[in-house]
Amino acid sequence: MRKKRFRRIVIHVALIAICATAAAPFLWMLATSVKTVAGAAAYPPQWWPHPWRWRNYLDLFNTRQYHFLLWTRNSLIIAVLVVTGTVISSALAAYGFACIRFRGRGVLFALMLSTMMIPFPVTMVSVFIVFHWLGAHTGIPFLGTFKPLWIPAWFGSAFNIFLLRQFFMTIPEELSEAARLDGCSELGIFTRIILPLSKPALSVVALFAFLGVWNDFLGPLIYLQRASQFTLALGLQSFQSQHGGTSWNMLMAASVLVMLPVLLLFFIAQRTFIEGIATTGLKG
């Protein structure tokens, strides 16, 4: 009995130490974000902000040269387009892989899985050239617009197709067979039976897609040129390269701003997050 209690205490102490290390950077960021410029640069550093300056957050939006409102809007537009496109196109492909038996399905599925192994930098140069070429030959501008950032999302992404396919496979086939006998079309089965039953899996895909696009830095860095078009991630970096090393308080306030939607989403959909991430590893 005694040994057991001792063990439990050791585990608690170890976990508290790990969690303190995980949380400290957040707390330090939050504290810095409400300090004055002088407060953030004070030596020795202040543990506690003095005075508290909540206005830093307002200033981010009010100061003309920062564009934070515009960057938030840009990020949201791209995120909505990417999330919608990813969910629709990945669900379509997943249905094809999970619910329809046809020749060559196995080969195509293996091909799709293998694309998961291709790192983004491998194709980024030639995809950029493809968009450059498209722009030159169609007269529609692609470079310097949002298009290269969201159009690919409407053509399915391997990881999400795989995730949804695994989920669709668990739905009893009798349901769609019965609908088929009643004369329901394949598209009808997909929208009326499979999709309503797959809400948990679809929300996992939407979450991952949102995280991916919200966190993306390299894509916007390559395709966006004018500061007024930047996403929050890219804007934050340009803000740092202009004001970095001096106004740490503003930089931390801006970082909080970039993180905020992700954190809010996490606390709203905590279960979806944890279960979604847990299943990715097990089915892999």
Closer CB to other proteins, 32 or 198, in the complex: 32
CA angle 155, 108, 200 (to 5 degrees): 55
Label residue 54 left, alpha or beta by phi (over 0 means left) and psi (-120 to 50 means alpha): alpha
Q: Would you give the distance in Å from CA 121 to the centre of its chain? A: 18
Q: How far is the CB of 195 from other proteins (least distance, A)?
A: 13
Site string for other proteins, 145-184 (x = CB under 8 A): -------x-xxx----x-----------------------
Among 58, 69, 80, 125, indicate the residue that binds other proteins (CB under 8 A).
125
Site for other proteins in 18-77 (CB under 8 A): 18-19, 21-26, 28-29, 32, 40-41, 43-45
Q: How many residues bind other proteins (CB under 8 A)?
A: 93
Among 66, 146, 150, 214, indicate the residue that binds other proteins (CB under 8 A).
214
Q: Say what the alpha-carbon torsion angle 154, 156, 157, 160 is, to the nearest 10 degrees.
A: 120
Is residue 106 within the footprint of other proteins (CB under 8 A)?
A: no
Which residues in the chain belong to E strands, given as ranges? none
The count of C-alpha atoms lying within 13 angstroms of the C-alpha of 47, restricted to the half-sphere facing its C-beta, is: 1
Is residue 96 within the footprint of other proteins (CB under 8 A)?
A: yes
Is residue 129 within the footprint of other proteins (CB under 8 A)?
A: yes
Among 113, 127, 171, 193, indicate the residue that binds other proteins (CB under 8 A).
127
Q: Which stretch binds other proteins (CB under 8 A): 65-73, 121-129, 167-175, 176-184?
A: 121-129
Q: How far is the CB of 34 from other proteins (least distance, A)?
A: 14
Nearest to 252 by CA among 265, 262, 239, 261: 239
Q: Which stretch binds other proteins (CB under 8 A): 50-58, 59-67, 164-172, 276-284?
A: 276-284
Alpha-carbon span 146 to 211, nearest angstrom: 17
Residue burial 103-122, b: 16+ Cβ < 10 Å; e: rest: eeeeeebeebeeeeeeeeee
